[in-house]
């Protein structure tokens, strides 16, 4: 199963846990806020694991 990630920008506190865990999927903007590198879906289990790294619940997983 595949899923897309979505970042809830106002919720992001720029901890960096997500993009340190998955630098192939996520990057940081100049303020340290998470940004997706691609709009392509990824493995849903991995998407959930990436989302779980965020203590702010700012990463949403949408199965496609
Ligand atoms: S772990 Fe969450 S709060 Fe931290 S940079 Fe990633 S999305 Fe933002």
Q: By residue range, what is the domain housing residue 43?
A: 2-63
Query: How buried is 57 (Cβ within 10 angstroms: 0-12 exposed, 13-18 middle, 19+ buried)?
Result: exposed
Please list the pLDDT of the chain residue by residue as tens digits (64 residues).
999 999 999 999 999 999 999 999 999 999 999 999 999 999 999 999 999 999 999 999 999 9
Ligand 1 pocket mutation pick from 19, 25, 52, 60 by most atoms within 8 angstroms of CB = 19
The pLDDT of residue 31 is 97
pLDDT of residue 22: 98
Which residue, by CA, sits nearest to atom 6 of ligand 1? Answer: 18
- Tally the domains of the chain: 1
Three-state SS sequence of 10-35? HHCCCCCHHHHHCCCCEEECCCCCEE
CB 4 within 8 A of CB 46: no
CATH number for the domain that contains residue 45: 3.30.70.20
Site residues for ligand 1, CB cut-off 6 Å: 7, 12-18, 34, 53-54, 56, 58-59
pLDDT score recorded for residue 38: 97
């Amino acid at each position: 199963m595949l899923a897309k990630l979505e970042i809830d920008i106002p919720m992001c506190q720029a901890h960096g846990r997500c993009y340190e865990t998955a630098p192939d999927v996520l990057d940081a903007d100049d303020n340290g806020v998470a940004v997706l590198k691609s709009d392509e879906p990824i493995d849903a289990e991995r998407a959930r694991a990436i989302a779980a790294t965020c203590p702010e619940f700012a990463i949403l997983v949408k199965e496609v």
